[in-house]
């Protein structure tokens, strides 16, 4: 199932990513779903957009939305996209579904002057409690799947992700925790209180 995120209020990570976009920017969204976020960037932020999406139905919806979209698995090589050919490459809550997240991250910071990666925090307290007290694999509004039907094969925590960025020698330009509740605590202890985070990266 592809993602639809028409209502930005439901997705604070997208709201933040949207604020990074200036008029005329070239934006690439990997796993763009039905293209509604790109519609918003095109119409409200006056950006020049392109989506990559593997789901044929979602590709059809992008075309209906007038969003240029290329049907493709973005795990496949993206050597046809030149270095720094986009102002911003967006990867929103899809990294964990990818077979080689580290390779993908290297690609997006190569292609984008900036990359905005929104990650799900598997160390959020609700996850921790489910695992600790119930002894079950956590399920949350961000990760609603059972262990056996989840597309998420590389879940990480915010700390894990930050570590990987250092290891890959990316600059973390900005890091914004996404709280469900407790916004102040999420800022102080994102790895415990935030349900996710947006990292703005560059190489």
Rounded to the nearest whole angstrom, what is the least distance from the CB of residue 171 to other proteins in the complex?
26
What are the structure tokens assigned to 6, written together? Answer: 């028409």
Report the nearest approach of other proteins to the CB of residue 104 (Å): 18
User: For residue 19, what is the enclosing H or E element?
Assistant: helix 12-19
Q: Does 47 bind other proteins (CB under 8 A)?
A: no
Cα 147 → chain centroid: 21
SS3 of residue 60 by DSSP: helix
Nearer of residues 67 and 88 to other proteins, judged by Cβ: 67
Residue from 3, 5, 71, 189 touching other proteins (CB under 8 A): that is 71
CB 30 within 8 A of CB 108: yes
> How far out from the chain centre does Cα 187 lie?
19
**φ and ψ at residue 142, rounded to 5 degrees:** -80, -35
Site string for other proteins, 73-112 (x = CB under 8 A): -------xxx--x---------------------------
* Identified binder of other proteins from the candidate list 24, 66, 151, 183, rule CB under 8 A: 66
Which of helix, strand or coil describes residue 183? helix
Using alpha carbons, select from 159, 169, 171 the residue that is nearest to residue 197: 159
Q: Does 70 bind other proteins (CB under 8 A)?
A: yes
Q: Residues 14, 21, 69, 198: which binds other proteins (CB under 8 A)? A: 69
- Closest distance to other proteins from the beta carbon of 60 (Å): 6
User: Which residues contact other proteins (rule: CB under 8 A)?
Assistant: 50, 56, 59-60, 62-64, 66-72, 80-82, 85
């Amino acid at each position: 199932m592809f993602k639809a995120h028409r209502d930005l209020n439901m997705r604070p990570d997208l709201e933040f990513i949207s604020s990074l976009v200036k008029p005329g920017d070239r934006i690439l969204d990997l796993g763009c779903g039905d293209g509604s976020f790109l519609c918003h960037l095109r119409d409200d932020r006056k950006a020049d957009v392109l989506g990559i999406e593997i789901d044929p139905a979602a590709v059809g919806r992008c075309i209906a939305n007038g969003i240029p979209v290329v049907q493709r698995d973005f795990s496949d090589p993206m050597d046809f996209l030149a270095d720094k050919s986009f102002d911003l490459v967006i990867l929103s809550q899809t990294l964990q579904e990818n077979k080689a997240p580290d390779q993908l991250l290297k690609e997006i910071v190569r292609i984008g002057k900036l990359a905005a990666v929104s990650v799900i925090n598997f160390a959020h307290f609700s996850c921790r409690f489910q695992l600790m007290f119930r002894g079950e694999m956590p399920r949350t509004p961000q990760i609603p799947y059972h262990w056996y039907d989840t597309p998420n094969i590389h879940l990480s925590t915010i700390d894990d992700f930050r570590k990987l960025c250092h290891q890959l020698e990316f600059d973390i330009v900005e890091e914004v925790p996404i709280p469900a509740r407790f916004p102040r605590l999420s800022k102080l202890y994102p790895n415990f209180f935030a349900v996710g985070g947006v990292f703005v990266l560059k190489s």
